[in-house]
Amino acid sequence: MSSTPTEHKREAPSFVNASIVTVSDTRTRENDKSGKRIVELLKNAGHTVNDHIILRDEAILLQQQLEEMLADKRVDVILITGGTGIAARDITIETVSSLFDKELPGFGEIFRMLSYTEDIGSSAIMSRAAAGTAGRTALFAIPGSIGAVTLAMEKLILPELQHIKQQLNK
């Protein structure tokens, strides 16, 4: 029986099926740089992108969309960008976290640490990036800036995505 992360990663599937949700009152297909960046990074890493949806900052819309994606057994990971700040309209974290069976607090903690040291300094305290699982699906809520998306994807999500899928399918 495998016991180390390296051994688990060797047993991991070669790709994951992802769905992406951009949460914003202002983003469109044309100007959604962060959503497009997630798609690009996933495809470059050999993963499949099932959906890329753009929604307004409305909790009911987001919850309905996430529940629909979670019901699709082909979806291994849902990546949500935007709506993670502290403004009144930022509803992503409250909506997404209500769906978690298990929270992955290390994602938000490490993301904020990396953001602080590599990018935005003390503004990192306002980041509410979060991750968790719902059934056999992982969910990641990432701030909407292109820098935040690139940091989260390259440093944290992509290196562990297949390992996460392997663990959720045990």
Cross-strand partners of 17? 48
Measured between alpha carbons, how far is 145 from 152 in angstroms, rounded to an integer? Answer: 11
Q: Which sign, positive or negative, has the C-alpha torsion 110, 116, 122, 124?
A: negative
Would you say domain 14-168 falls under CATH 3.40.50.300? no
Average pLDDT over residues 20-31: 94
CB count within 10 Å of CB 56 equals: 14
For position 60, what pLDDT does the model report?
96
Q: CA 34 → CA 52, 146, 148, distances in Å?
A: 11, 5, 9
Domain borders along the chain are 14-168
Tokens 């495809």 correspond to what residue? 43
The half-sphere exposure of 75 on its side-chain side, counting CA atoms within 13 A, is 24
In the predicted structure, residue 1 carries a pLDDT above the cut 60: no
Average pLDDT over residues 73-77: 96
For position 50, what pLDDT does the model report?
96
Length of the chain (residues): 170
CB count within 10 Å of CB 75 equals: 21
- What's the farthest any 2 CA atoms get from each other in the chain? 49
Tokens 């914003």 correspond to what residue? 24
Top pLDDT among 121 and 64 is at 64
Residue 116 has what DSSP assignment? I
Q: What is the mean pLDDT of the chain?
A: 93
In the predicted structure, residue 119 carries a pLDDT above the cut 90: no
